[in-house]
Amino acid sequence: MTAALAHYLDVATRFQAAPEQASAPQWLKRLRADALAHFERQGLPTTRDEAWKYSRLGSIAEGTFIPRTGVSRDTAHLSAVVERLGLPGPRLVFVDGRLAPELSSVAGLPRGLTLKPLRDAVREDGELLESVLGQRALANEHAFTALNAALLEEGVLLRLAPGALSEVPVQVVFLTRGDAPVLSSPRILVVAGESSEASLVETYASAGPAGSAATFTNAVTEVTLGDNASLHHYKVQVEADAALHVGALHARQGRDSRFASHAFAFGGAMARNEVHAAFAGEGGDATLNGLYVGQGAQHLDNRTALDHAVPRCTSRELYKGVLDGQSRGTFHGLIRVRQDAQHTDSRQQNRNLLLSESAQADARPQLEIFADDVKCAHGAAVGRLDAQALFYLRSRGVPQAEAERLLTYAFAREVVEAVPAGPVRANIEALLAVKLPGAAQREVTA
């Protein structure tokens, strides 16, 4: 056993044995204990694991990260950070993996929506939680999901009653202060009733000064969409350079449901983002979009998996990477079309823009098609800025550096523009402008 594995096992064992966990419901205790066993059996993944072939764990594998306990207090001074990152409207904020009541507010939640901390939901919605928690994200298949479940305490439940409509996006914000090597293990649950519609923004950011300690966030999101329900999910990850991030979203889609995932990965030394969507009823539609922008030594790792298990579902994927410095971006997209899934219509695109000689991108589309009446398309590309376009701009008087920024932004904006116009998009545009400085501001707001 590696020292890191021993460390995480120790952390989780202590957590589960802590006195304050004695009052946890039996089902939760069992779930945590089972997850711990699964984690121990699987161990930390290595590049020998097919799903982690292009990944590197960095200091996650050194095993120094420790979870915080209790509620995060003295967080009022962070409200400016939250304001800058977030949008008006209902939100729950977590600092170093612990709920920060001072920063949170669920005022203005539309009728039919419930947004509450997971610890409250454990008390109040035990029956519901028992039926969905760990049912989408399986601890026996994913080591980090198992670790998350073994440490499961904090997180969010977003519940939509049948027919509920939310015009304002619901937000959950996860901040790390960077004053200690903190391990956060949030779990976000979304349960959407028939014909309900909502938007959820998950934001991950660091609030500490530059040079803060590395933190490790290991997040799991489970989405259950009822028939004809619709969820727009946004994940905005803008953590500090030293941060380590592993996130996995698993969605199960009912008949005629729509799920749109927009994942923006701008931060972190190593950030792995997984999005898994499974169709459980006919007529479903999934959109999986992603934009990863890496600089310095960042390693941005994206994995998507679409399970077309039933007929007549549609999926669209667009992942784009902009990689500068010595950064590395990977995309591994699996589309599985099962034998019964006739009339599947699936398209996947992955495009990478390399801005430096040492930046690197790996594209790995993987299509497994067992049905015979389907449309499946995939495209993968790794390229540099178009020399002719650059020359054209320069010939019109645009200086080289500015021309490069202009073209880079033009490349990235396709993913941003797939976000419906509104405050969420404006917010992402602003964050992208910070990440890609000098991108023409007029372009941004146009």
Partner 1 sequence: MALLTVRNLHARVAGKDILKGIDLEVAPGEVHAIMGPNGSGKSTLASVLAGRDGYEVTQGEVLFDGKPLLELSPEARAAAGVFLAFQYPVEIPGVGNIHFLRTALNAQRRSKGLEELDAMDFLQLAKEKSKLVQLDAAFMNRSVNEGFSGGEKKRNEIFQMAVLEPRLAILDETDSGLDIDALRTVAGGVNALRSPERGMVLITHYQRLLDYIVPDKVHVIAAGRIVRSGGRELALELEEKGYGWLGLDGGKKTTAEARR
Partner 2 sequence: MSTETLQELTRRPYAAGFVTQVESDTFPPGLDEDVIRQISAKKGEPEFLLDWRLKAFRHWKTMKEPTWQAVTYAPIDYQAIRYYSAPKQKPVKASLDEVDPEILRTYEKLGIPLHEQKLLQNVAVDAVFDSVSVATTFKDKLAKAGVIFCSFSEAVREHPELVKKYLGTVVPYSDNYFAALNSAVFSDGSFVYIPKGVRCPMELSTYFRINAAETGQFERTLIVAEEGSYVSYLEGCTAPQRDTNQLHAAVVELVALDNATIKYSTVQNWYPGDAEGRGGIFNFVTKRGIAHRAAKISWTQVETGSAITWKYPSVILKGDDSVGEFYSVALTNNMQQADTGTKMVHIGKNSRSTIVSKGISAGRGQNTYRGLVKVLKSAENARNYTQCDSLLLGDKCGAHTVPYIEVKNASAQVEHEASTSKIGEDQLFYCRQRGISQEDAVSMIVNGFCRQVFKELPMEFAVEAQKLLGVSLEGSVG
Chain residues that interact with partner 1, rule: CB under 8 A? 128, 131-132, 159-163, 165, 191-197, 224, 226-230, 254-258, 283-285, 312, 314, 343, 345
Indicate which of partner 1, partner 2, none lies near residue 131 (CB less than 5 to 8 Å, by partner kind): partner 1
Indicate which of partner 2, partner 1, none lies near residue 66 (CB less than 5 to 8 Å, by partner kind): none
Indicate which of partner 2, partner 1, none lies near residue 381 (CB less than 5 to 8 Å, by partner kind): partner 2
The torsion of the CA quartet 29, 186, 200, 275, rounded to 10 degrees, works out to -90
CB-nearer residue toward partner 1: 3 or 377: 377
CB-nearer residue toward partner 1: 15 or 259: 259
CB-nearer residue toward partner 2: 98 or 308: 308
Q: Please state the closest distance from residue 342 (CB atom) to partner 1, in A.
A: 11
Indicate which of partner 1, partner 2, none lies near residue 230 (CB less than 5 to 8 Å, by partner kind): partner 1
CB-nearer residue toward partner 1: 179 or 340: 340
For 84, the 3-state DSSP assignment is helix
Q: Please state the closest distance from residue 271 (CB atom) to partner 2, in A.
A: 22
Q: Please state the closest distance from residue 171 (CB atom) to partner 1, in A.
A: 20
Q: Does 334 sit near partner 2 (CB under 8 A)? A: no
Indicate which of partner 2, partner 1, none lies near residue 165 (CB less than 5 to 8 Å, by partner kind): partner 1
Q: For residues 387 and 426, give the distance between their C-alpha atoms in angstroms, rounded to a whole number.
A: 30
What token pair was written down for 422?
A: 């509104």
CB-nearer residue toward partner 1: 89 or 193: 193
Phi and psi at residue 411, to the nearest 5°: -65, -45
Nearest to 145 by CA among 236, 241, 36, 233: 36
362-391 residues in contact with partner 2 (CB under 8 A) are 372-384
Count of residues that interact with partner 2, criterion CB under 8 A: 17
**Which whole-number Å values give the CA distances from 347 to 80, 336, 350, 444, in the listed order?**
41, 12, 10, 27
Q: What spatial distance separates the first Cα and last Cα of the chain, rounded to whole Å?
A: 55
| Residues in Cβ contact with 358 at an 8 Å cutoff, skipping those fewer than 6 apart | 325, 326
Indicate which of partner 2, partner 1, none lies near residue 255 (CB less than 5 to 8 Å, by partner kind): partner 1
CB-nearer residue toward partner 2: 13 or 342: 342
Residue with tokens 């059996």: 41
Q: Please state the closest distance from residue 57 (CB atom) to partner 2, in A.
A: 24
Phi and psi at residue 304, to the nearest 5°: -125, 150
Q: For residues 222 and 323, give the distance between their C-alpha atoms in angstroms, rounded to a whole number.
A: 29
Angle at 150 between CA 105 and CA 186, to 5 degrees: 25
Q: Please state the closest distance from residue 368 (CB atom) to partner 2, in A.
A: 13
Q: What is the DSSP string of 91-160?
A: EEEEETTEE-GGG-B-TTPPTTEEEEEHHHHHHH-HHHHHHHTTTSS-TTT-HHHHHHHHT---EEEEEE
Count CA atoms within 13 Å of residue 64 on its CB side.
9
> Would you tell me the crossing angle of helices 143-150 and 3-17 to the nearest 10 degrees?
30
**Which whole-number Å values give the CA distances from 387 to 72, 383, 392, 403, in the listed order?**
51, 11, 9, 11
Indicate which of partner 2, partner 1, none lies near residue 314 (CB less than 5 to 8 Å, by partner kind): partner 1
Indicate which of partner 2, partner 1, none lies near residue 376 (CB less than 5 to 8 Å, by partner kind): partner 2
Indicate which of partner 1, partner 2, none lies near residue 407 (CB less than 5 to 8 Å, by partner kind): none
Q: Please state the closest distance from residue 412 (CB atom) to partner 2, in A.
A: 17
Q: Please state the closest distance from residue 343 (CB atom) to partner 2, in A.
A: 8
CB-nearer residue toward partner 1: 285 or 324: 285
Q: Please state the closest distance from residue 172 (CB atom) to partner 2, in A.
A: 36
Which residues in this chain contact partner 2 in the complex, by CB under 8 A? 343, 347, 354, 361, 372-384
